[in-house]
Amino acid sequence: MLKLIHQHLEEVLKIKKVDLAIIGAGPVGLFAAHFAHLHGLSNLIFDSLSEVGGQPQMLYPFKQISDIPAYNTISGTALIQNLKSGLPKETEIITNHKVNDVKKSDDGFILDDMVLAKSIIIATGAGAFKPKELPLKMNEDIQKRVHYFIKDPKDFANQKIGVFGGGDSALDLAIELANYTNVKIIHRRNEFRGLESNVKKLRSLANVEILTPYLPKDIQLVNNQLDITLKGMGDVQPRHERFDQIIVAYGFKANNRFVKKWGIELNGTNIAVDPTMKTNIDGIYAAGDVVSYPGRVPLIALGFGEAQIAITSIMRDLFPEKTLTIHSTSI
């Protein structure tokens, strides 16, 4: 009876059938789709963001990444473009869609009544992330000049730019923007949380001014510029600064707790997996920064390997009768 219900549901909703559904279109999710294709697994990708690439594309597209094998350095954007170019043209990527419902079926899993997948890989990284916003009242005209993501630093050339934050993202942004314009970086403490080498580099740049310890207290639009009142911490006196635009790098709120309603066990905010990258639910795997196991370090390259382990495990589960070929030169 249950099978008949599922068959009827598939006919009514015209559910797409695949061997593998990948949740997350960051670098690990994109590579998982490529590796699955090498093994002949039909697959599609879901992502809650409006474009693929995850954190490298959204948070640091221009940053040079130095720990990807075979590249001395590669920018976040270039890495994502290379991963996308490795996908077959028929690969379907569904963006702007956060998977909410996963139901167990006789034939696998039904995701949001859209897709019937024999297996799932969760590759959501740190999770669906939202920027921590500037805690000030702002009208629409002001909000247009307040940014949380940057696609191209050249767009800010020859403007007065303020960067708010004290972590690696804020320091990276300030360093990159300083190639094109004058920058002031504002932080609530005298000490930064980011790399000391980046702090030293910023202090050495003539067109960068570091303002500490200050918090933004008020923001107004005056003579087509942002007039910002900065509250000094401790005995430091307040001051006013004017910028054409500002970038807020206070970090992001992210979590993967939404998978708990699917019955998946977490270890803190991450997904617990066994050595085959399987979760506590048969048929559902995870790879990348979403997973947790002893000794793991949050590296993109490690996530690539975890995706390969997961897909190898999926092949053994779905096709136990086959002699599994591991190396790409033999596929």
pLDDT level of residue 257 (50, 70, 90 thresholds): confident
Amino acid at 5: I
- Tell me what pLDDT residue 98 has: 92
In the predicted structure, residue 13 carries a pLDDT above the cut 60: no
Output the pLDDT for position 130.
78
Has residue 1 got a pLDDT over 70? no
Residue 192 confidence (pLDDT): 95
Q: Are 27 and 303 in contact (CB under 8 A)?
A: yes
- Higher-confidence residue: 129 or 224? 224
pLDDT at residue number 262: 94
Distance CA 211, CA 229 (A): 13
Mean pLDDT on 176-201? 94
Could you tell me the pLDDT band of residue 278, with boundaries at 50, 70 and 90? very high
What lies within 8 Å, CB to CB, of 208 at 6+ separation is 174, 178, 182, 183, 184, 185, 202
316: pLDDT strictly greater than 50: yes
Whole-number Cα distances in Å, 6 to 3, 62, 252: 5, 46, 39
| Average of per-residue pLDDT across 239-249 | 96
Which pLDDT tens digit goes with each residue over 60-94? Answer: 888 888 899 999 999 999 999 999 998 998 899 99
What is this structure's pTM? 0.80
Residue 115 or 11, more confident: 115
Provide φ and ψ at 121, rounded to 5°: -120, 125
